[in-house]
Structure 1
């Protein structure tokens, strides 16, 4: 469902059985590339999410080297696992982009976590869309404009939903204001997983 030019929301894109299968794929990724806590480069403050990646590249941040993509896990030194096939199929279905994603960020939010307004602009290729999947508890997602002080609006994203930022909306500021506990039974310990597919290079 289009919201504005380049903004697409697909409620319940993945049904319950597909969510469970995707969760199993993500657990396999995490068994090889464990979750870690990213650190803000300027302040050295830990983010409230835990994260990992899959794909040829993974996004990360720390105080020493800042925001970047690299081909290996920062703690294990191993290459990231491949992106699961259902996520590649999703990208090909909703992105309208001719090349596959190179990175899939996996963010785990516990029920108290949030994510401030930010742009996804660490990619060389800003012409490719950003495709994200929600699994687990519902979140309040906030979307703004190209400038940080532009007006924002909020939308609830539920388990199985897909959201796309593309075209004129690719660089909109966005964030997660809150997680609604006990709104899904998918994750045994609550919280929310967000999967974000990105194409990094031209």
Structure 2
């Protein structure tokens, strides 16, 4: 099984595990060994899955404003964890390919392996939930057919993205692409970089 297929399988395991209780407060119970890439991938998708449902909840038009603010804080924290974990996955790839010398004409890709994996994780959630809608008995036939068409597109995207990830990793291994990672430098959670936060501290 290639990397993309393995990641997809792990992502779907995470999604299925979450939906046993379907509760954002459910603690993660990662089944994979410590220090394994599989464990990291499961944790990555678990964050994405919880955030998916946080985003659903906060869009309730009748939500209490206090609860909405609390959820917004949770989403911000989740986004930071997501970014940190993506960068950690890229560090894993950097270590994996540390002994590979890129060719003199090696190209630089617009996207690192981990950010491509991030897209695959989100895509697995789209496929899962669109499949639910395509088969929801309480929905109209028109709704199910429209969702099936969207699901077909998502599955096509999954195939293309999986292929692209495989090609990217092969090109890095062969020295045809130079792996270069930039930190995201997110500023909104940093008390020294967000003016709203550091001006508050100075008052």
Does the pair score TM above 0.5? no
Q: TM-score, normalised by structure 1?
A: 0.27
Give the number of the structure whose alpha-carbon radius of gyration is greater.
2
Q: Which has the higher helix share?
A: 2
